[in-house]
Amino acid sequence: MVAARTRVALLGLLAALAWPGAALAQGWGTVKGQVVWGPEKLPEKVKANIDKDKEHCLSKGDIFKDEHVVNPKNKGVRWVLVWLTDPDSATKPIPVHPQAKAALDKKPVVIDQPCCRFEPRVLGILEGQPVMVKNSSPVSHSIFWHGGPLGPTDNLTIPGGGQRTWANIKARPLPIPYDCSIHGWMKGYVGVFKHPYFAVTDEDGNFTMARAPAGKYRLLLWQDTHGWVVQDKKDLKIRGLVLDIKADSTTDVGAVKLMPRE
């Protein structure tokens, strides 16, 4: 009986070690921070050229280009995609808390087009997580995926009230651009990851990732107009920030400045 229990325990240990997301005695913590506009002068708001379906598209007011969405009250930058990687290799697996993955796994995410804008404009998903693109407006829109060799590369019209769903989208180093081929100002991006440690900054530039693995990891930050947020503009290969995530506590990276390209 003792020998049988020993064999069962050994098999359990081997199974845990074989799972790339598992870690013995792994601690977990929370990562939070804020992305802020670096220059003193805030970017100007620029109106988009609304050249189709004007009556509907302008029914709620002017539509502005959203390359820069900065809160004038605190300089927080919205729509910045942030995620964790191994500090030395962006492709190396990192430990994953089972509950963190279960909170997203197979749960569909929704992109809507209610009034001539994509909502949300930027999002992150887990590899294989379904993406439903719907059109809750009365006019036709489209979704044009620019997924490259990994796909998707569809360009489909979605009539008012319609929807389409994509599954099995593969993880990749950079977000997938998508746009509406009917309304040229409508653009968005989706990051696809093999782990659940990603976030998109809110209207105040804030982000939070819960149940993150304790230890040293790199925090990557990406904004569609400026690309990677770097530590040192003299060395553009040093991307993001290396963090020492503390177990059972919150690691606050503070305010990370987004500097526009020169």
Mean pLDDT for all residues in the chain: 89
- The whole-number pLDDT of residue 31 equals 98
Q: CA geometry: angle at 256 spanning 229 and 99, to 5°?
A: 90
User: Is the per-residue pLDDT at 14 higher than 60?
Assistant: no
Residue 134's alpha-carbon distances to 117, 166, 169, 201, 228, in angstroms, are 12, 11, 17, 23, 30
Q: Map out the domains of the chain with their CATH numbers.
A: 24-258 (2.60.40.420)
- The whole-number pLDDT of residue 237 equals 59
Contact 212, 30 (CB under 8 A): yes
**For residues 210-242, b (16+ Cβ closer than 10 Å) or e, as one string?**
bbbbbbebbbbbbbbebeebbeeeeeeeebbbe
Residue 184's alpha-carbon distances to 80, 157, 210, 253, in angstroms, are 22, 14, 36, 36
Q: How large is the average pLDDT for residues 205-229?
A: 95
Q: Is the link from the previous residue into 120 a cis peptide, with omega within 30 of 0?
A: yes
